Amino acid sequence: MSMYFHLRAVPPGELRDDVPWLERLFQDEWETVRERIGRHREEVLDRQYLDQELLYAGSAPHEGEDGPWAQVVLGGRHVYHPTQGLPPFLLLTAAETRQVAAFLTATDFAALWHAGRDGLLPRYGVADAEPQTRAVFAGAHRDLTAFYAQTARYGDSVVKWLVL
């Protein structure tokens, strides 16, 4: 079974706490979503999304603090799914999205990697794998930065969900 963590931009006036609406947002193909909300932006993280989260929220100096770094991947207000075992939806307001975009735009990936590499590399093999592993994380960082920056420019909110 493939699991992907989806992030979708939604105009703030369209954002709802309604679980059926949120489910439809992630079940529809991107063309349908774009037609319904007027535009489309999406980012998808594969099953390593928890490792990506570690890169941002689990490394010093941010550990244990609440801030935009903690919102990048798994942050947001929870809207719980009524079906037991399904993950909640996570919602970021337009203001929170702007904070995340500002954080990511100003963040030096090399510093993030330096702080998180010792916790991440053992999950991906020997030290010889570092250039490839670092490149994968750098690419995801670039994609997340572009997603949040564009979403913030539109003044949109973000909805996230782990799609099974």
Sorting pLDDT into bands at 50, 70 and 90, what band is 33?
A: low
pLDDT at 97 over 90: yes
Place of tokens 């510093």: 111
Q: Is 89 helix (H, G, I), strand (E, B) or coil?
A: strand
Q: Is 160 helix (H, G, I), strand (E, B) or coil?
A: strand
Give the range of the structural domain holding residue 105, as residue numbers without chain letter.
4-163
Question: Which amino acid would we find at residue 67?
Answer: G
The encoded tokens of residue 9 equal 């931009």
Least confident of 3-7, 55-59, 81-85, 132-136: 55-59
Residue 44 has what pLDDT?
80
Q: Specify the length of the chain in residues.
A: 164
Residue 29 has what pLDDT?
66
Q: What is the mean pLDDT of residues 5-32?
A: 84
Residue 90 has what pLDDT?
95
Interatomic CA distance for residues 123 and 94, integer angstroms? 34
Q: What is the mean pLDDT of residues 4-28?
A: 87
Q: Are 1 and 164 in contact (CB under 8 A)?
A: yes
Least confident of 43-47, 136-140, 158-162: 43-47
What H or E segment, with its residue span, contains residue 83?
none
- With a CB cutoff of 8 Å and minimum separation 6, the contacts of 96 are 68, 71, 75, 76, 158
68 or 109: which leads in pLDDT = 109
- The pTM (predicted TM-score) of the whole model is 0.87
Instruction: Give per-residue pLDDT as tens, 99-151.
Output: 999 999 999 999 999 988 888 888 887 668 889 999 999 999 999 999 999 99
pLDDT at 164 over 60: yes
Interatomic CA distance for residues 61 and 81, integer angstroms? 33
**What is the number of structural domains in the chain?**
1
C-alpha dist (Å) from residue 50 to 7, 19, 93: 14, 24, 22
List the CATH number of the domain containing 98. Answer: 3.40.1760.10
Highest mean pLDDT pick, 41-45, 55-59, 67-71, 98-102: 98-102
